[in-house]
Structure 1
Amino acid sequence: MKKQLLGASVVLLLSACQSNSISSSSNVENASATALAGATQAKQSEAQRLNILLDQYFKEVMVLNPIYATFVGENAYNDKFPAPLTAENRAKELAFEKKYLKAIKEIDESKLEGQDLLSYKIFKQDRVMAIRGTRFGQHMLPFNQMYGIHNFFATLGSGASAQPFNTAKDYYNFEQRAKGFALFMDSTIEVMREGIEKNVVLPKAIIEKVIPQLQAHVVDDVKSSVFYGPLTMLEQNEKISASEKAKIIASYSKVIEQVIIPTYKKTLAFVTDEYQQHGRDSVGLSALPKGKAWYEHQIAENTTLALTADEIHQYGQQEVARILGEMKKVKETVGFNGSLPEFFTFLKEDEQFYFSSEQEVVDAYETVKADINSRVGQLFEVFPKADYEVRPVEAFRAASSAGASYQSPAPDGSRPGIFYINTHDLKAQPKFIMETLSIHEAAPGHHFQIAIQQEVEGLAKFRRFGGYTVFAEGWALYAESLGKEMGLFTDPYQWYGRLADEQLRAMRLVVDTGLHAKGWSRQQAIDFMTANSSMAASDVESEVERYISIPGQALAYKIGQRAIRDMRTKAEAALGDKFDIRKFHTQILIDGALPMPILQAKVEQWVEAQKKA
């Protein structure tokens, strides 16, 4: 999954927002204090104390991050926006994490079992990692071309995301939320000025990609704004009276004209007139203050494993070489007589491998969806209730977005999952990646994992709506490897697409560590990926700049896949004829996203239970 969440995944997008969102609400503090006190009553069992604590934590997070609340179906906060990125609010964020770390430590782990024990371990680890992360200067880099509230808010306000626009109150809610957005964006300017003073700034290449994203929302006519989309939808709404519609159109248009557009204009002026001249020539995290330790933290946070940049880099190099060997076999199978680089050129340039229109891309993926849906029963016994739709990425963010991404469905079933395909550059969407990309982003990849997680009854809410990159992306890449088992990849070019996708993930290990730990330049990274793949030049550039912007995230895919595959291999060896692939997949998915060490321990326990069955 390519994270703009939100790539590509909403969980990732929202966790980025949450890390910078603390409210000064006395109601939150009072409610929290009451619940924490209740959680310490001696008469309650440790499990009861834990669940009270976790429930209160989730309720408090809803207030602290109201956009997250909207996505998980808590609509009472639809008019609110995360608090500005002030020093005071960041201090409250740290206090919030320390408070819950102290509270979880007061619960006796030895008296917990099952889901309660899993929740305890996950929650405690999350608080520790969140506190460690505050040592670095992430708040001074509040947005980039891949992630940022400037893009996310536009998607939310387009009317095609989680923000509801069904009633008059929904429209008025978003008007209020827009005012909060304006205050938040003012605070991003202040922390980016702090970044200039402390030499924690974006690379020049990244700033250049952010500018057109901001410019897209500085329009003269409100009707040409993406934020006018909900007013277009209003015309077909039979639940709202004509007189109320007139009021909404007037007030909502005014907010677009006097709040939203000026906010983007102000931010754009700051970036172009002030910030851009301070952009850095270096691209790696190691070039920033505390950069080495910062990147080590990113590795730990994104993989949940104790790995070094050097060992990840070496593993990546080995995998790149192995996959190149598999690609040569495909070249020979299809009878191509030239060299592997010439085969790459052939795949990049021959028109037979490319679509001619956006609609053709979407239609083709709908066909693949139907085919995969007919096969997944071979390997799975648990399926998501929610469906998913195939959609093109919106024009305003397509130029700098990943090739594909997934957005989770609404928990109440009112909105399906969305498999986004970026049709901005048709040469970046070759036909031979259709099967593997659909598996990864939709079924049985991200859609299965995220939708099932949301649908598990009784799962603590912080787990239902949280996640780990290494689990989500590791699962999706592992899911790709199931294609042949499901009877897919019979076309050698589709199999090449699977190899190309895995090669991308292997190259990421090399490039991400190269950029952030070994002093690689942007061009070095581009050259490496160009030499070892048939990716379009625009896609290579977008990928490299993604790794520059979000250090460590790209490591999670291959590392997670390797961990899950190792668990399966050991389970197969231990169980022999007793091994059931469908039950193994249930074990991986049914408890939601877990850190790899916790998942491994859980699978080992399951294996021992199966031996005795």
Structure 2
Amino acid sequence: MFRAVLLVVMGSIAMLPVTAEAEKRDATATALHALIQREWQYQLEHSPTYASVSGDRRWNDRWDDLSLKAIEADHQHNLQVVAQVKKLDRKKLSAADQLNHDLFLHDHELWVEEHRFKTYLMPSNHMGGLPEGIKQPPGVQTAYQLADTLRFDTIQDYEEWVTRLQRFGTYVDQVMALMREGLREGRVHPQVVLKRMPPQVEKQLVDAPEKSAFHGPFTRFPASIPAAEQQRLTAAGRAAIAQGVLPALKRYHQFLTEEYLPKGTEQVGIWQLPEGEALYALLARRFTTTSLTPDEIHALGLSEVKRIRAEMEAVKAKAGFKGPLEDFFRFLLTDSRFYYRTGDELLTRYRSLSKRIDPLLVKLFKTLPRQPYGVEPTPETMAPDATTGFYYPGATDGSRAGTYLVNLYRPETRPRWEMVPLTLHEAVPGHHLQTSLSAEQTGIPDFRRFGYHVAYGEGWALYCETLGDELGLYEDPYDKFGQLTYDMWRAVRLVVDTGMHVKRWTRQQALDFFMANSPRQELDVTNEIDRYIAWPAQALAYKVGQLKIRELRTRAEKELGPRFDVREFHDVVLLDGSLPLDVLEAKVQGWVAARKAAK
């Protein structure tokens, strides 16, 4: 059967037949697009906290359903989606849709594969929950952060928050049920991680609802909500916190201290879990988006540590320091000139750095995001256990800007020389440019606009730390040494993460190796090591991604010579969403070939 399309030929309209083959191609593309869109809506509906943080308010009254029944239903759904995608004839798709097809299938196949390892039975740790991704709901002890990230403009917003608070107890009970099942199956974190959790919860066991972080929205009503409604909603919120939230947190705290913590393992490393080595290999593949084995990653880390130490020696000489590198480390960590006295001074410096970098970006970037960002302190309740800084993406509806959170806890442990690379990584041009520009690409499906491959995103941010040289930010040798320190930090990760989880290193071995190769404060090093214990393989992504992006740039510079434009290169890397590293490599190679062919 034929259908007709219109073709303008020399001013007249002709009717041309469309072949059955062309119809099949169109039907395949239509089916793929419909499936992708339907599944994106499914993921949002079944991950309501992710949807809320992203700015989609349709399920603002819910927490994620973490019952075993719901988890199994989601798994069966993913199996069905994989089967549906595989029924589509990939050859009948355009090159762009073949990429959409492959990335979409890859995500679902990975979820299916990971399900058999039952990582969902370890849903909570001192970092909150599992690492990045739409399927990672918040941990119990960090759930309060939702109060500061959602938009509260209308009566409905507050009523939905009250309902969410009322349902918090069910959410906590589901988390505890998963953790109890994890105990039965021998899937539990080491005690060194678990010991950090009860104090985090204890801080939230306040003696009055209005002192709870969950109460925050009721302290900042917009003027458009009448006073009587404000009083009604505040009373409802306090009742929900008193009757639902606080009792649930007390149950959770008691569960952690009396039931869960004593069962934690004394040794560290995922190798202790059922099929632990196979799980780590999967996680390494997932987070690096490569086929590198743990042994190969460990060797790569050792090689990078050696290379960066040589660069450190050169910068140490430039700074005029005469002693060995270990003494230079000690000097950087102990000399008062490198520290601010107060958290306020730290915050002021971070904000001034961001303002200094912003106008320089046009030197290296052709396309900049429309969404703004701000610099704010890490919440006090999580600061003692949090890293030096991190980025929180803005809402897709524009209701919340991106936020660069900086840790002001114990400023005497936070040296000035680490501030430039940290800002380049977490704010601009690192995570803010990458996530914001990705979200603004309306020509790609939503799962790619808002998806996140850790090796790409963190690799990009680590690559951006090196751009400080081109932006003139490392003229001070101490700032440059700070960048090398951060580079070393990520190289060390490759060694200690694989060391603990595969080679059965002790936690102390990992701490010693880190301290011997990086002038970072012991508090930071300890927090980092415990993060790697709680999130196996996640930290591998940074250095692997950075090396690939730098390799692609170096190769493009060599092949294009004077025709290489760094601003165009950055567009190629950034303007197609978050990609696996092999896909990114093919994209850059295609751009280089096109540039070489152009006359």
TM tier relative to shorter chain: over 0.9
Q: 2:218, 2:205 → 1: CA distance?
A: 18
Letter matched to residue 476 of structure 2:
D
How far the C-alpha of 1:117 sits from its partner, in A, is: 2.5
Tell me whether 1:253 sits opposite 2:243 in the alignment.
no
Q: 1:230, 1:559 → 2: CA distance?
A: 41
**C-alpha contact 2:491 2:543 (8 A) present in aligned 1:** yes
SS at match of 1:395: coil
**TM-score between the two structures when normalised by the length of structure 2:** 0.93
Q: 1:491, 1:258 → 2: CA distance?
A: 56
Moved more, 67-76 or 49-58: 67-76
**C-alpha contact 1:403 1:428 (8 A) present in aligned 2:** no
How far the C-alpha of 1:43 sits from its partner, in A, is: 8.6
Residue 102 of structure 1, aligned match among 70, 77, 83: 83
**C-alpha contact 1:489 1:495 (8 A) present in aligned 2:** yes
Tell me whether 1:504 sits opposite 2:489 in the alignment.
yes
Q: 1:282 matched to which residue of 2?
A: 267
Residue 51 of structure 2, aligned match among 55, 61, 69: 69
Between the two proteins, the alignment pairs up a number of residues equal to 567
Q: 1:481, 1:114 → 2: CA distance?
A: 33
How far the C-alpha of 1:44 sits from its partner, in A, is: 4.4
Q: 1:73, 1:226 → 2: CA distance?
A: 20
Note closer, same or farther for the CA distance 1:259–1:447 as it changes in structure 2 (3 Å cut): same
Tell me whether 1:457 sits opposite 2:471 in the alignment.
no
Tell me whether 1:210 sits opposite 2:200 in the alignment.
no
Gapped regions of structure 2 (runs ≥ 5): 1-22, 130-138
What are the within-5 Å matches in structure 2 for residues 123-522 of structure 1? 123-148=104-129, 149-157=139-147, 160-161=148-149, 163-234=150-221, 237-522=222-507
**C-alpha contact 2:374 2:401 (8 A) present in aligned 1:** yes
**C-alpha contact 1:84 1:183 (8 A) present in aligned 2:** no
Larger radius of gyration: 2
How far the C-alpha of 1:602 sits from its partner, in A, is: 1.4
Identity, in percent, stands at: 37
How far the C-alpha of 1:277 sits from its partner, in A, is: 1.1
Q: 1:80 matched to which residue of 2?
A: 62
Letter matched to residue 42 of structure 2:
E
Q: 2:4 matched to which residue of 1?
A: none
1:149-183 deviation per Cα after TM superposition (whole angstroms, max 9, x unaligned): 224311002xx21x222222111101112233321
Moved more, 192-201 or 238-247: 192-201
Q: 1:374, 1:42 → 2: CA distance?
A: 50
Letter matched to residue 227 of structure 1:
F
How far the C-alpha of 1:320 sits from its partner, in A, is: 1.0
Q: 1:25 matched to which residue of 2?
A: none
SS at match of 1:419: strand
Moved more, 410-419 or 516-525: 410-419
How far the C-alpha of 1:114 sits from its partner, in A, is: 4.5
1:301-352 deviation per Cα after TM superposition (whole angstroms, max 9, x unaligned): 0011001111111111111121112112222212222221111111111111
Q: 1:283, 1:180 → 2: CA distance?
A: 35
**C-alpha contact 2:209 2:241 (8 A) present in aligned 1:** yes
Q: 1:120 matched to which residue of 2?
A: 101
SS at match of 1:391: strand
Tell me whether 1:89 sits opposite 2:79 in the alignment.
no
Gapped regions of structure 1 (runs ≥ 5): 1-40
**C-alpha contact 2:166 2:241 (8 A) present in aligned 1:** no
**C-alpha contact 1:348 1:427 (8 A) present in aligned 2:** no
Q: 1:574, 1:393 → 2: CA distance?
A: 44
**C-alpha contact 1:151 1:397 (8 A) present in aligned 2:** no
Q: 2:13 matched to which residue of 1?
A: none
How far the C-alpha of 1:569 sits from its partner, in A, is: 1.6
Q: 1:55 matched to which residue of 2?
A: 37
Q: 1:42, 1:492 → 2: CA distance?
A: 62
How far the C-alpha of 1:399 sits from its partner, in A, is: 1.2
Q: 1:144, 1:245 → 2: CA distance?
A: 36
Q: 2:92 matched to which residue of 1?
A: 111
Q: 2:590 matched to which residue of 1?
A: 605
How far the C-alpha of 1:42 sits from its partner, in A, is: 5.7
Residue 513 of structure 2, aligned match among 528, 545, 548: 528
For the aligned residue pairs, the C-alpha RMSD in angstroms reads 1.4
How far the C-alpha of 1:112 sits from its partner, in A, is: 2.3
SS at match of 1:375: helix
Letter matched to residue 334 of structure 1:
A
Q: 1:107, 1:565 → 2: CA distance?
A: 36
How far the C-alpha of 1:456 sits from its partner, in A, is: 0.9
